[in-house]
């Protein structure tokens, strides 16, 4: 039987791989649907610039907050921030759908 830590690492690696593939598919889908082929490389560059900046500055900020406030408080705050972002996004989409201000193409894309 494999130790739990090995199973956890393998599970997290598979989860990260799925996330990375889905984000790549979403980026390519966005650029190909909303921009002309002559503009796509510029928008890919902008998207990947900010994606990679998050990979650089995210661990630096996380390490700073973990050192300053403790790892448990840092992960608790991060979880609450992510939950708040999910509620804000869902509420915004519902509000725009109810008021009719959400563009029809966006409604079709999200299948709302």
Give the torsion through C-alpha atoms of 47, 48, 53, 54, to 10 deg.
80
Mean pLDDT, residues 79-97 taken together: 89
Mean pLDDT, residues 64-92 taken together: 93
Range of the domain at 39: 1-49
Total domains in the chain come to 1
Give tens-digit pLDDT for 47-60.
999 989 998 999 99
- Name 69's Cβ contacts closer than 8 Å, sequence gap at least 6: 77
Residue 13 in domain: yes
Residue 5 in domain: yes
Residue 76 in domain: no
- Name 27's Cβ contacts closer than 8 Å, sequence gap at least 6: 44, 47, 48, 51
**Measured distance CA(91)–CA(98) in Å, rounded:** 10
Residue 14 in domain: yes
What's residue 83's pLDDT? 96
pLDDT band at 88 (very low <50, low <70, confident <90, very high): very high
Q: What is the pTM of this model?
A: 0.57
Residue with the bigger pLDDT between 101 and 84: it is 84
What's residue 106's pLDDT? 63
pLDDT band at 102 (very low <50, low <70, confident <90, very high): low
Residue 54 in domain: no
Residue 12 in domain: yes
Residue 59 in domain: no
Mean pLDDT, residues 10-31 taken together: 87
pLDDT band at 105 (very low <50, low <70, confident <90, very high): low
């Amino acid at each position: 039987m494999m130790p739990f830590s090995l199973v956890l690492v393998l599970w997290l690696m598979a989860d990260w791989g799925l996330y990375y593939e889905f984000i790549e598919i979403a980026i390519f889908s966005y650029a190909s649907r909303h921009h002309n082929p002559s503009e796509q490389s510029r928008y890919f560059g902008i998207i990947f610039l900010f994606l990679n900046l998050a990979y650089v500055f995210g661990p630096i900020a996380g390490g700073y907050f973990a050192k300053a406030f403790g790892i448990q408080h840092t992960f608790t705050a991060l979880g609450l921030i992510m939950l708040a972002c999910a509620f804000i996004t869902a509420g915004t989409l519902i509000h725009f759908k109810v008021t009719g201000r959400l563009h029809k193409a966006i409604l079709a894309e999200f299948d709302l």
